[in-house]
Copies of this chain bind each other. A is one copy, B any other.
Amino acid sequence: MEYDKVINEIFFDLDFDASEGKVADYIPELAKVDPNKFGVHLCTLDGENFGLGNYNEAFSIQSISKVLSLTLAFKLDGDRIWQRVGVEPSGNPFNSLVQLEYEHGIPRNPLINSGAMVICDMLISKLENPKEDFLNFVRNIAGDPSINYNPKVAGSELEHGHRNVALANFMKSFNNITNSVEEVLDFYFCQCSLEMSCRQLAHTFLLYAAHGTLPETGKEIISVSKAKRINAIMQTCGFYDESGDFTFKVGLPGKSGVGGGITAVYPGSYSVSVWSPRLNKKGNSVLGIQFLEQLTTKTRASIF
């Protein structure tokens, strides 16, 4: 498959002037980003790489980090984690408290905010130095020691994230947070502040295309079975209340973040990351989804 040709084609066909969508502005640090940034990077298990636009520029990966923390918790704790978080799509906006109330503090899945907080709580109980250990885990998968948190973004979230503070306290009232709410939120916002470029993200997520193994060294990070299950969760839960639509249009497992990034994987074949900060009403990158829809249509590559 000549991915470079296809990616070029789509890139030049995209309507960058269309003003649809707006940059996340609930925290000042995110609102500052240039809405016209656009990058894409695809890398295959065969070692091929294709980047276009601002593919080498780091941005705030935000909720995409939830897949990485889930991976570490699943690796460390195994199937026990499913006693405290489900694997069902949420069927509600990503920050909803309603579902949580009806389900007694058990989040629907680990890729919504509440679920990711429970995962953070598990990691805090398990890791000596949660922030450092998690960062090293990510750097190791990415093969890139330069990846880092952005303390300004993390601090800004802490200051403005009243709804997330509400979520964490609510779960604490159901005893589904075992450490202090402050510690959990501090780690959660820190993890969301991770910065990566499309190139770094695509390389990191090759892990899920390669069924749990680092393609360059052949080292197993998680088992084949665990990698499949994480892909399955990305498929049904990766895009908040737009997960069905992404599956319908793009047909690949993936995860989005309010920084405008989307990463998707074709198991056994490739990993691709797109970045465009303008978001639709459901919090997902408008051009990112359009690009990926074109990609799977033109390459006829879909898991379905």
Do the beta carbons of A87 and B248 come within 8 Å of each other?
Answer: yes
* Chain B nearest CB, measured from A275 CB (Å): 24
Residues on the B chain within 8 Å of A152, using CB: none
- A158-191 near B? 1/0 per residue, CB < 8 Å: 0000110111111011000000010000000000
Q: Which size bracket describes the interface of A in this complex?
A: 35 or more
Do the beta carbons of B163 and A173 come within 8 Å of each other?
Answer: yes
Q: Report the Cα distance A29→B32, complex, angstroms.
A: 48
Residues on the B chain within 8 Å of A33, using CB: none
Q: Among the listed B109, B162, B228, B235, which residue makes an inter-chain contact with A235, where contact means beta carbons less than 8 Å apart?
A: B235
* Chain B nearest CB, measured from A148 CB (Å): 28
Q: Among the listed B97, B170, B237, B267, which residue makes an inter-chain contact with A304, where contact means beta carbons less than 8 Å apart?
A: B267
* Chain B nearest CB, measured from A113 CB (Å): 12
Known: A91-B99, A162-B172; 9 extra A-B contacts, CB below 8 A, are A89-B89, A89-B243, A89-B244, A91-B91, A96-B101, A163-B169, A165-B166, A166-B167, A229-B248
Quick one: which of A77-122 are within 8 Å of B by CB? 86-92, 96-99, 101, 108-109
* Residue A225 CB within 8 A of the other chain: yes
Do the beta carbons of A224 and B300 come within 8 Å of each other?
Answer: yes
Do the beta carbons of B236 and A243 come within 8 Å of each other?
Answer: yes
Number of copies: 4
Do the beta carbons of B224 and A248 come within 8 Å of each other?
Answer: no
Residues on the B chain within 8 Å of A235, using CB: 235-236, 247, 304
Residues on the B chain within 8 Å of A89, using CB: 88-89, 91, 236, 243-244
Residues on the B chain within 8 Å of A243, using CB: 88-89, 236
* Chain B nearest CB, measured from A158 CB (Å): 12
Q: Report the Cα distance A247→B15, complex, angstroms.
A: 35
Do the beta carbons of A304 and B232 come within 8 Å of each other?
Answer: yes
* Residue A253 CB within 8 A of the other chain: yes
* Chain B nearest CB, measured from A121 CB (Å): 13
Residues on the B chain within 8 Å of A172, using CB: 162
Q: Among the listed B97, B244, B247, which residue makes an inter-chain contact with A86, where contact means beta carbons less than 8 Å apart?
A: B244
Residues on the B chain within 8 Å of A162, using CB: 169-170, 172-173, 181
- A285-304 near B? 1/0 per residue, CB < 8 Å: 00000000000010010111
* Residue A233 CB within 8 A of the other chain: yes
